[in-house]
Amino acid sequence: MMPKLLLQAAAAVADRRWYGSGGRRGYLPLRHPPHVAPGRFTACLLAVAAVTTTFALALTLHRPDLSSAAAYAASPRGVGGGGGAGYAVVINTWKRYDLLRRSVAHYSGCGGVDAVHVVWSEPEEPTRSSAGASSTAATAAARGAVRDQRGGQPQQQGLTTDAVFSVDDDLIVPCSTLRFAFAVWQSAPSAMVGFVPRMHWLADPGSNAKEYRYGSWWSVWWTGTYSMVLSKASFFHRQYLDLYTNRMLPSIRDYVNENRNCEDIAMSFLVANVTGSPPIWVQGRIFEIGSSGISSLKGHDLQRSKCLNTFSAMYGHMPLVATTVKAVDSRTSWFW
């Protein structure tokens, strides 16, 4: 039975723009002008090219029983067409091999996971010692087709499910929490659904100048308001990967590649620009198993604020939509 969601109407709002003419579903066009335009393992190595050469290691996990997810795939709510049951986990990693092994071992054991893909962002190709997963067979099978993927985000080639769960190698989401978030995404497949909310604020609400500042977790905690869920732990439709690579403003991709930051903000902008709706924050415990990343560096929030202003100027408007709605699994919460 579908978990109870707090304020289910929000899911319908996030999905309201998913209908095309004649009741058929499809993606709405981007608003900017076109001219600016989870068993046994089998594995394949995918190459990702950004500013430096990037590789993606795909570990496909075949599970015989995905009845609930299969029912979803066969239902009219399936989006985009051609997607399989369950979801793919895409792990973003950078020179943290022990964390990578732990992450692959964890997510490959979660029900509903169709495949685990590792986005390899190092200039050197992965070796068995560095890319080693939880299975010797999986490591030995880490050979195969090489595909060119541009833009700092993996393209949708090799993904057989509509749902993608993007996660950093130092974050562990319990399988039960992940299952609930997947159910939330199924109710609103056009939305980004995740665990790490952030907010954009007007730097000076009384001014006519539209300058924004980045609101970290503490501003979300204090106000209950957010407009982004970061792709370091979120579900989204695989077609957004193609849109990011092929339809998003090239100037935004260039900015992300040059600054090596804000690709998550860029994805939030893209999804909001397509749907005109806010993301969905899922309440749930997630665990950090690594040391602090770039978010702990001095000037991080300032850099993020600069990204907000740069991207909004490139779009010609601010596409992010603020909301106070949160998805809560009432079976595990005293207050919902």
Q: Return the bridge partners of 229, or none.
A: 197
Q: What angle do CA 180, 186, 190 make, to 5 degrees?
A: 125
Residue from 111, 99, 132 nearest 288 by CA:
99
Find how far residue 219's CA is from the centre of its chain. Answer: 22
Residue-wise DSSP of 2-69: PPP-TTTHHHHHHTGGGB-GGG-B-PPPPSS-TT-----EEEEEEEEESSSEEEEEEEEE--S--HHH
Torsion of CA 249, 255, 256, 261, to 10 degrees: -140
Strand 41-49 with 53-61, pairing: antiparallel
Q: CA dist 151 to 79, 95, 249, 277, Å? A: 24, 20, 11, 24
Which is the catalytic residue, given 114, 168, 169, 264?
Answer: 264
Gap between the Cα atoms of 199 and 320, Å rounded: 9
Residue identified by tokens 């080639």 is 157
Instruction: Verify whether residue 264 is a known catalytic residue.
Output: yes
Strand 53-61 with 212-215, pairing: unpaired
- What positions carry a catalytic annotation? 264
